[in-house]
A = this chain, B = another copy of it.
Amino acid sequence: MPHPAKTVSKAADPSVQTVDTSYLESLMGYNARRASLAIISEFLAQMSVYGLRPVDFSVLSLITHNPGITSRQLCVALGLLPPNLVGLVNSLQGRELILRRPHPHDGRAMGLHLSAKGKKMMRDAEQTAAELERNATSALNPTENRQLMSLLKKIYQKPSGKGATA
C-alpha cells in the first residue's frame, strides 16, 4: 500500500506539527468506516425527532415490509442476538408502534406487525431517511451514487460475508 506524503512536516523534528494520516487513508477499511460513520451521524441527527436509532429503524422497516416477521427472523436478517432484541421489541410495543400476534403455524413464535400509529410514523420516517440519504450523498452525481451502491454490495456480498450487526 503506497502512502504518498500528504502533509509537510519538519522531517527529523520529533515534535509533530501536522498529523499525517495518508497511510490510514490508503486503507479501504478506514475509508469505509469513516464514510459509514458520516452517514450514520446524519441519520442520528435527522431521525432523533422520531426517537429512532438505526437499529430501531431497521427493525421497523423489516416489519413494515415483512408483516408477521418473527423475532428470530429479525435477528438473522440484522445480525442481532436474541437476548438483545427482547428489550428493543418490548420498547417498540410499549410505544404502541408494533403489536404481537400469535404465529399462525408455530405456537412458540409471535408475528410482529405495525400498529396504525406505527404505519403512520414509518411513512414519515422512510421519507426522512430518503431525504437524509440524498443529503449525505450530495457530493455524488447519480452515476457515482449507483456506482458506490454497487461496489459496496460487492464488498459484503461474498462467501465470507457474514451477517450485519445493526
- Residue positions of A touching B, CB distance < 8 A: 1, 3, 9, 13-16, 19-25, 27-43, 54, 58, 61-62, 64-70, 73, 76-77, 101, 103-106, 111, 113, 126, 129-130, 133, 136-140, 144-145, 147-149, 151-158, 160-162, 164-166
Give the oligomeric copy count. Answer: 2
Decide if B164 touches A27 in the complex (CB within 8 Å).
no
CA distance A54 to B36 in the complex (A): 15
Residues of chain B within 8 A of A145, CB atoms compared: 28
Decide if B151 touches A77 in the complex (CB within 8 Å).
no
Residues of chain B within 8 A of A9, CB atoms compared: 66
Report if A16-B69 is in contact (Cβ < 8 Å); known contacts: A24-B62, A129-B1, A151-B148: yes
Decide if A66 touches B140 in the complex (CB within 8 Å).
no
Decide if A137 touches B28 in the complex (CB within 8 Å).
yes
> How far is the CB of A150 from the nearest CB of chain B, in Å?
9
Report if A147-B151 is in contact (Cβ < 8 Å); known contacts: A14-B111, A20-B66, A73-B19: yes
CB nearest neighbor in B for A138: B158
CB nearest neighbor in B for A101: B14
Residue from B62, B106, B154 in contact with A139 in the complex, judged by beta carbons closer than 8 Å: B154
Decide if B147 touches A147 in the complex (CB within 8 Å).
yes
> How far is the CB of A144 from the nearest CB of chain B, in Å?
6
Residue from B28, B149, B153 in contact with A136 in the complex, judged by beta carbons closer than 8 Å: B28
CB nearest neighbor in B for A26: B149
Decide if B15 touches A104 in the complex (CB within 8 Å).
yes
Residues of chain B within 8 A of A64, CB atoms compared: 23
